[in-house]
Structure 1
Amino acid sequence: MASTAVMSTVAVLERHLTLYRRLFWASALSSFVLPVLFLVSIGLGVGGYVGDLDGVSYLQWIVPGVMASTAFQMALGETTFPVLGDFKWTRGYHAMRATPVRIGDMIAGQVLFLMVRVLPQTVVFLLVVLLFGGLRSWWSVVTPLVCAAVVVASALPVMGYAARIDNDGYFALLFRFVMIPMTLFAGVFFPVAQMPVAAQVVAWVSPLWHGVELCRAATLGVAPPWPIWAHVLCLLAWSAGGAWFAMRGFARRLAV
């Protein structure tokens, strides 16, 4: 049974990789080139006016935020229209359901695909940042794993959301009221401590904030604001709750 589940998950992963091969160069621009350009323009350009922040240059301070937010945005981008499309337009999930592939295998295979995408992307991004002097600690090598955790914690709830809607217009609500505010107020561009307490509480429950703080602690070689286990526990809670939400949504949509 376990071997069958593994084979089914790998088959789903292979399907996503095959489809992604046709879009590789187009996605490379948005997934890698744009974050690097953003880092140079904001980190170096705006950073020249901002100066130091918390005792480090603004470039070094913003690097982990750009990494984590890029992973977060990629997770949302790959689990909104693609998931709804496989339910409504291409009916890819229905085709999988006609095979021995189970719902858990569908979800696990898609999450693995996202991790396969984010890990190399983050490694290359780190190498580019290293050339600009944006890293201060060898602990930076763990940031790809943190970004992968952000992807899982963000993607699973959105997969559950996408499985429950029938109109892509609802994604505008997700982007406008979740993705944009979460990116702006999760410590990516400025310290969360500068915000009102109510806004800080909103940031604390965000998976992106925990990812940003863990990445920042790793690249700067400092302790995060919360104990590491607390940040990790929050990301695990989002992942577990999101997995349950996605499983229920897929089961309802596929009438299992």
Structure 2
Amino acid sequence: MSEPTVIEHPSLDQLRQEALEWGRAPRRRGAWYVTEHMVRAMRAYGWTIIVGALGQPILYLLGLAVGLAALIDAPVSDGGMEVSYLVFVAPALLMTATISVASEEFTYPVMSGFKWRRYFFGFSASPLSSGQIATGVTFGAAARMAVVAVAYTAFLYLFGAIPQGASGLLTILVAMLAGLAFGVPLMAYAASIEDDKGQFALVQRFIFMPMFLFSGTFYPLVTLPLWLQWIGWISPLWHASELGRMLTYGRPLSPLMIAIHLGYLIVLTVAGYLIGRRLFERRLAK
């Protein structure tokens, strides 16, 4: 007779070790898993992203290049330089495009993850940490910003709105930083909201729109009365637009002002991320 087969069951230590092995990959790459989810979720409104990335710059640039710029014969004087109106306004429009994406991706999708679809709690039940979830949300929004920034910059070159040449490509990075500087603090705010009572609509009306209108987007900031210029001074849009104008048509900027503009955008992004990460941890611990 053949000997009976002995089945060896894994010990508790072996099972624990296997579980740790399975959990190490999410722990190492957890932020990228969340990023992948956020990007895949954008497929539900993918056509909106494509139309927005391609249609918005065409409409704005046609309106400015063929319409408004045709009525403004005199060049715009900016920082001791004279440039056409289209060249002057183009960098600010690029920055506005990524900030607009940030205002979409860091508001309702964040609140949905906590309140309506609650998928953040599903992520948190896995080996993913709260910090990785916050990082993944940030990276996912940045991916959409990159698509918009690249498409917009391509149209700016086609319309001759970037006379500086290759250095104008760096405006893509500045535009993404502008979107993060506005959007990451907004993500922190969205993570703190328990119920939707129209807070995001107020952000659009009383923060985004005044920033868009009074941050030197359509005319140099110094032409505004002093009591309105402060809106531009605290606005990430103005700081990013100044850097963009330096890169696209060589607007003179001192090293100190370059450091101030970059530093302000970076501080907003880092501070917003740290606060948002803390709020993610607090909400997901409940």
- TM-score normalised by the chain length of structure 1: 0.93
Matched, 1:149 2:162: no
Q: Which amino acid aligns with 1:164?
A: S
Picking from 242, 259, 274, the partner of 1:229 is: 259
Please, which runs of 5 or more residues in structure 2 have no aligned partner?
1-22
Moved over 3 A (4+): 1-6
Equivalent runs, 1:88-127 vs 2, <5 Å: 88-127=115-154
Q: SS where residue 23 of structure 1 aligns? A: helix
**Mapped contact 1:13–1:113 kept (Cα < 8 A):** yes
Which residue is equivalent to 1:30? Answer: 52
In the aligned structure 2, how far is the partner of 1:81 from the partner of 1:155?
12
Which residue is equivalent to 1:18? Answer: 40
- How many residue pairs match? The answer is 256
**Mapped contact 2:142–2:176 kept (Cα < 8 A):** yes
Matched, 1:192 2:217: no
Q: What is the CA deviation profile of residues 53-102 of structure 1, one whole-angstrom value per residue up to 9, with x for unaligned ones? A: 12111111111011000111110111111111111100011111111111
Matched, 1:172 2:201: yes
Q: Which amino acid aligns with 1:244?
A: L
Decide whether aligned partners of structure 1 residues 107 and 43 sit closer, same or farther in structure 2, where only a CA change above 3 A counts.
Answer: farther
Q: Which moved more, 1:198-207 or 1:9-18?
A: 198-207
Picking from 66, 69, 76, the partner of 1:44 is: 66
**Mapped contact 1:39–1:66 kept (Cα < 8 A):** no
Identity of aligned residues (%): 30
Deviation at 1:247, TM superposition (A): 1.8
In the aligned structure 2, how far is the partner of 1:17 from the partner of 1:96?
15
Please, which runs of 5 or more residues in structure 1 have no aligned partner?
none
RMSD, matched Cα: 1.9
Decide whether aligned partners of structure 1 residues 62 and 74 sit closer, same or farther in structure 2, where only a CA change above 3 A counts.
Answer: same
Between structure 1 and structure 2, the one with the greater Rg is 2
Q: What is the CA deviation profile of residues 118-177 of structure 1, one whole-angstrom value per residue up to 9, with x for unaligned ones? A: 223222222222221111112101011001111211111111111111115111111111
Matched, 1:73 2:100: yes
Which residue is equivalent to 1:53? Answer: 76
Q: SS where residue 126 of structure 2 aligns? A: coil
**Mapped contact 1:216–1:224 kept (Cα < 8 A):** no
